[in-house]
């Protein structure tokens, strides 16, 4: 993956531990990771952090986003309200790969309560290393998302 990719990451309390571990791992691999919070695992509202990460991706401050909550679902609902954001909840490596190849997803949502740590790691690395297919039919469909 290009080192020019910047990744914005956020969670709520239910996704805080995976956020901490993913940041540590990605930074150790040389990625530019911006932690948009929260700073601790106190109970908090996922939309606050989901909006922050989605806004960073929507404005181009970050190339990609990663959002973690209990299920990944709340974060995806929030993130997909932002223009230009294509957030995908992925519970498998296949879903992560296809969300990039077919949907050009730019925000990965993970559920810490539903996805084991090793699986989450594989999902993150697949999401970040897989390119959009770029085929005409996929470009056409992704364009239609913004109508
Ligand atoms: C928090 O308890 C939980 O509802 C939240 O993390 C998330 O799973 C919502 O989609």
Distance CA 142, CA 147 (A): 10
Show me where the domains of the chain are located. 6-146
**CATH among 3.40.47.10, 3.40.50.1000, 3.40.1400.10, 2.60.120.560 for 6-146:** 3.40.1400.10
Predicted structure pTM score: 0.96
pLDDT one digit per residue (tens) for the chain, 147 residues: 444 689 999 999 999 999 999 999 999 999 999 999 999 999 999 999 999 999 999 999 999 999 999 999 999 999 999 999 999 999 999 999 999 999 999 999 999 999 999 999 999 999 999 999 999 999 999 999 987
For residue 98 and ligand 1, the question of a CB distance below 6 A is answered with no
Would you name the residues annotated as active-site residues?
Answer: 69, 102
Q: Which stretches of the chain are DSSP H helices?
A: 16-28, 46-58, 73-79, 93-101, 117-129, 136-144
* 50 pocket-lining for ligand 1 (C-beta < 6 Å): no
| Å from CA of 65 to ligand 1 middle | 18
As a whole number of angstroms, the distance between CA 64 and CA 42 comes to 25
C-alpha 46 – ligand 1 centre gap (Å) = 7
């Amino acid at each position: 993956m290009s080192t020019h990719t910047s990744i914005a990451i956020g969670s709520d309390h239910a996704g805080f531990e995976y956020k901490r571990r993913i940041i540590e791992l990605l930074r150790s691999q040389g990625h530019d990771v911006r932690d948009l919070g929260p700073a601790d695992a106190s109970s908090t509202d996922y939309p606050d952090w989901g909006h922050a990460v989605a806004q960073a991706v929507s404005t181009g401050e970050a190339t990609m986003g990663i959002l973690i909550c209990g299920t990944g679902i709340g974060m995806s609902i929030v993130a997909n309200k932002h223009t230009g954001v294509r957030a995908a909840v992925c519970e498998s490596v296949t879903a992560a790969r296809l969300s990039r190849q077919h949907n050009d997803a730019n925000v990965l949502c993970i559920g810490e309560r539903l996805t084991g740590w090793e699986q989450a790691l594989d999902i993150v690395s697949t999401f970040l290393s897989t390119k959009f297919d770029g085929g005409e039919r996929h470009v056409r469909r992704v364009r239609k998302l913004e109508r």
